[in-house]
Amino acid sequence: MIIVTKPEATEEQVQHIVDRILEWGLKAEVSKGALRTVIGIIGPEDAVRERPIAAIPGVESVTPVLKPYKLVAREFRGGNSSKVKIGNVTVGGGEVVVMSGPCSVESRDQITSIAHEIKKAGATILRGGAFKPRTSPYSFQGLGVEGLRLLAEAREETGLPIITEIMDTKDLEVMEQYADCLQVGARNMQNFALLKEVGRSKLPVMLKRGMSATIKDLLMSAEYILSEGNFNVLLCERGIRTFETYTRNTLDLNAVPVLQAETHLPVIVDPTHGIGLREHILPMALAAVAAGADGIMIEVHNSPELAKSDGEQALLPDEFTDLVERVRKVAQAVGRSL
C-alpha cells in the first residue's frame, strides 16, 4: 500500500501515520517530496486491507501496489527516483557515474596503478574482484581476503570508494570491513539466501541481471533485498544470453528505459560484459548513457595480455580515457553531467 499525505499535512500527522502502521505490526518507509510525503507500507496485504487508513488525519489517498514487486516499484516512492550513496559518490542524480577497474585484483602494484589511472581519466568508483566466480574450477578464483585488503589500500591512496563481488553469505562479515558497495553477480541473481543476507547489510548493493533473466526476474530478486530492509540498491544490465554467438552476450539497452519506468532504483549498464569485445565497448557505453543509464561499469587493465581473467575485454588506460571523454559529451547532450 502507498499512502500519500495532503500538502498541508504536518510533521506530527506524518509521524502519527507511521506510528499507526507500526502498531499494526507493519513497517513504514517514508519518502518526503516538495509538497507531499509518500509512505510505503511494508507487510502482508491482508494485514493492511481492512485498516481505516484513509481516516487518519493528513492522509490524502491510499493506493495498493498491484505489481508483484512492491518495494522496488516506482509507485512506492511516489514516482520519484532513489539516490544511492557509495562512499562519497551519489548514484541516481543528474550525474553519470563511471565505475572502473580490473576484472580481478592480481597484485598491489596492479590494482593501485590502475586505480590512479582511472581516477585521472574521470572514474569515481573503483571495481575489482577479490572473489571470482569462474565457469571453470581450474581458472583463477581471485585473491580472496588479500584482494579486499589491496582494494582498501588503493582506496586509501586514491580516495575512490570500492565495489566488489560477494559470492557467499559466509563472506559478508569480512567484506563489510573493506568494501563500500557489494556486487551480486549475474550467476547469483537468484541466490535467494545471498539476497536476503545482503538485504540485512549496512552496505549498498548492486544487483546484476542474470544471464537468462527477464526484467521481471531482476526486479523480483531486488525485492528480496529491499524486503530485508536495505533500500540502497542499484540494478545492473550486463547483457543476456541469446541465440547470437558473435558477441559474449546481447546487451539489452531496452532494459534501461523500461527499468526506469518500472522502478525507483538507479540503473547501471556494464557494456564490458554485455558485449565482451574490446573494440565494441565504446559505442555501447555511449549508447547506454544516451539511453539514460545512471552509470556505466568498464573493465580496465594496464596489461590485458597478462590479465588472469577477461583480458580480452579490458580496455587499456588510454582507451578508457578516450571513452570517458566521449561519454561526457553524450551525457551533456542528453542533459546529464559526468
Q: Identify whether the C-beta of residue 221 lies closer than 8 Å to the C-beta of residue 189.
A: yes
Cell output for 171: 563472506
Mean pLDDT of 266-290: 96
pLDDT in tens, 154-186: 999 999 999 999 999 999 999 999 999 999 999
CATH class of 2-64: alpha beta
pLDDT tier at 193, thresholds 50, 70, 90: very high
Q: Convert 203-267 into a string of H (helix), E (strand) and C (coil).
A: CCEEEECCCCCCHHHHHHHHHHHHHCCCCCEEEEECCECCCCCCCCCECCCCHHHHHHHHECCCE
Residue carrying the nine cell digits 554467438: 245
Percent of the chain with pLDDT over 70: 99
Percent of the chain with pLDDT over 90: 76
Which residues belong to CATH 3.30.70.1140 in the chain?
Answer: 2-64
CATH class of 84-333: alpha beta
DSSP helix/strand/coil, 90: strand
Which residues belong to CATH 3.20.20.70 in the chain?
Answer: 84-333
Angle (CA) 124-330-215 rounded to 5° is: 75
Q: Identify whether the C-beta of residue 198 lies closer than 8 Å to the C-beta of residue 173.
A: no
| Alpha-carbon torsion, ordered 280, 123, 180, 75, to 10 deg | -70
pLDDT in tens, 148-157: 999 999 999 9
